[in-house]
Amino acid sequence: MFKNMSNNNFFNKEIVLLYFLYFSLLVGFYFDENSTGGAILDYANQKRASTLFATDFFETFINYDTFATRHSPVLIIFLSFFEKLNFSDSTIRLIYLHMNLLLPVVFYYCLKIKFKNFDKKIFLLLVSLLFFSPTFRSLSIWPDSRILGVLLFAIGIFFFLKFNESQKFKYVILNIVTVSLCAYISPNFSVFAILFFFYFLKSFKIFSKEIIFIILINLFLSFPAFYYIFILDVNFITQSAAINFDENERILFNNLSNDILITYSIILFYIFPFLVLKIIQLKDLYDLKNLVLTILIFTVCSIFFDYNYEYSGGGIFFKISNFIFKNNIFFLVISFLSIYIINLLFFKNKINVLIFFLIILNNPQYTIYHKYFDPFLLICFFTIFTFKIDLKKLNYNYNFFSLIIYFGLFLLINNLKYLWTI
């Protein structure tokens, strides 16, 4: 069972696996797969906007904030060009699906740069996990800005890794342009410009011409968004996606305690199988200082935690806790464990701490959906986080199939959950 899979024929088997997973995505397209549960409804709302952009661009552009969506209009404008050319809805969706197939390709090339001198077959194994992501599948089948944002963010990571490898300034510019475009598609990702800027500051002097140029190009690229939202006052970002949400509630940073506990729990869900299989390695499990810090964070956050189950979202552990046990006890237990384990991984490295806080800032709205982290976290774990990683452990049948079962069950549960409600 533990036989090493790095034999001469496995590469071909891996390609066959990827073709099979691609075929499964086409099958999902044919049967209108909706693993996240809300992809079809979100697309229906977006479809109305893209149709209006095709018929009356200026009026729709100026009044976009009346559409009750916090999705950026950029993707919708792009799709509206296909509407104007009278492409069928199925054709538009199929084109978009194949655009997003660039994500596994970009992730593969990021891994090639990050982990040099590794068997490329291992990278293909890791890339194949993306096809078990409910978000990747649903939001590729039903066009949505979030997954395209992940794709552009991954391209930004690729250029960042290329810069680290070569120290060529052109990759800095390509990173900034790509991350800026990513922010226009999915504004949540704009906060990660801070991470890359921090790295660039380490490479260049603070008052160097390179840093000044980086600041100027960021200001230049962000100006259209600033003008659109704050000058023209088309502020779509504060629209609520919650079910039965009180319009008088504050949308952004409503309760930081909710954000912290839910984020910790979702990160644990994605990193858990890699920790168990020791692909991502965790040492010094017993740490008194971390225990004290965990108790402090958990106590403060649990006192002020008030996430409303009726508003939807909250992540898998929050949903299980309320659906099965009708309370938050199970979720709070998982949250305590999450804080302890994630702190051990993150808080010994300043970059990891920064990324963690940026992930929280990445989701400032009241409702926090699991799809916001999927497959975004998986890509981040193996590209921008700093962990001790043993990719060779992925090269064993047992470990790989354990990951397939773990994420495959998550995909299955999401589909069954959706089918149960219709």
Query: Where do the domains of the chain lie?
Result: 10-244, 256-389
d(Cα 281, Cα 302) in Å, to the nearest integer? 28
DSSP 189: G
Whether 262 contacts 368, CB under 8 Å: yes
For residue 362, give the nearest of 195, 114, 135 by alpha carbon: 195
Q: Are residues 270 and 370 in contact, defined by beta-carbon separation less than 8 angstroms?
A: no
DSSP string, 197-219: HHHHHHHS-TTSHHHHHHHHHHH
Residue 116 structure tokens: 């040099």
Cβ–Cβ contacts within 10 Å for residue 70, how many?
A: 20
CB 128 within 8 A of CB 17: yes
Tokens of 344: 């051990």
pLDDT of 396 reads 73
- φ, ψ for residue 365 (rounded to 5)? -75, 160
CA distance 27 to 226: 41
Provide CB contacts within 8 A for 165, sequence distance 6+. 113
Determine the pLDDT at residue 371. Answer: 86
Q: How many CB atoms lie within 10 A of CB 279?
A: 22
Report d(CA 332, CA 321) in Å as an integer.
9
pLDDT in tens, the chain (422 residues): 334 444 444 456 778 888 999 999 999 999 999 988 888 888 888 888 888 888 888 888 888 777 767 778 888 888 889 988 889 999 999 999 999 999 999 999 999 999 987 888 889 889 999 999 999 999 999 998 889 999 999 999 999 999 999 999 999 999 999 999 998 888 888 889 999 999 998 888 888 898 999 999 988 988 877 767 766 666 656 655 555 555 555 556 567 889 999 999 999 999 999 999 999 988 878 888 889 999 999 999 999 998 888 877 888 899 999 988 889 999 999 999 999 999 998 888 889 999 999 998 888 777 888 888 989 999 999 999 988 888 888 877 788 889 999 999 999 988 876 555 55
- The token duo for 52 is 């209006």
Q: Are 210 and 200 in contact (CB under 8 A)?
A: yes
CA 287 to the chain's CA centroid: 30
The whole-angstrom separation of Cα 230 and Cα 226 is 6
CA pair distance 150, 32, nearest whole angstrom: 22
Residue 118 burial (10 A CB sphere; 0-12, 13-18, 19+): middle
pLDDT reported for residue 1: 34
Residue 264 identity (one-letter amino acid): Y
CB 35 within 8 A of CB 43: no
Q: How many C-beta atoms lie closer than 10 Å to residue 271's C-beta? A: 22
Q: What is the DSSP letter of 186?
A: S
Residue whose C-alpha is closest to residue 274's, from 358, 349, 385? 385
The 10 Å Cβ neighbour count of residue 117 is 4
* Helix, coil or strand: residue 261: helix
Distance CA 242, CA 246 (A): 9
SS3 419: helix
8 Å CB contact between 151 and 103: yes
CB atoms near residue 167 (< 10 Å): 11
**CA diameter of the chain:** 64
How much is the pLDDT for 253?
A: 59
Cis amide leading into 375 (omega within 30): yes
